[in-house]
Amino acid sequence: MTEPDDDLIPSVFARECASRAVLADVTGRWGTLALAALHEGAYRFNALRRRVDGVSEKMLAQTLQALERDGLVRREVQATIPPHVEYSLTEMGERVAAKLVELIELVEGEVGRVRVAQARYDQAR
């Protein structure tokens, strides 16, 4: 691993560019869904886990940690008894999540056409 050069323009097409790793966090299997869920509002860990149907406790914890490290997600421990941990988006996280939600809405809206294409593809083989 070479250190990325700050003088270069970031490009996800370059293997070593830091932007590719950030894109991977954001578009990862659980990263996308966690960000999209937090776009609805702040969540406690267990509620977020129920919203992101199918994610394991371990994977969600890892995903949130990576997004917190990237400065996209804020983790706040509330001074309640017992203490609650709440996750929300930072300003930068809001902008990324908003774009992801647009992508998700596009995919959800096209899923009927995709399934037709898949059936046609499978029949031709």
- Contact residues for its own copies, defined by CB under 8 A: 6, 9-15, 17-19, 22-24, 26-29, 32-33, 36-37, 51-54, 68-72, 92, 95-96, 99-100, 102-104, 106-118, 120-122
Instruction: Using the minimum distance from each CB to its own copies, give the nearer residue, 32 or 63.
Output: 32
Contact partners, residue 42, CB within 8 Å, separation at least 6: 86, 87, 88
Q: Cβ of residue 41: shortest distance to its own copies, in angstroms?
A: 14
**Can you tell me the distance from the alpha carbon of 42 to that of 98, in angstroms, rounded to the nearest whole number?**
15
Q: Cβ of residue 63: shortest distance to its own copies, in angstroms?
A: 13
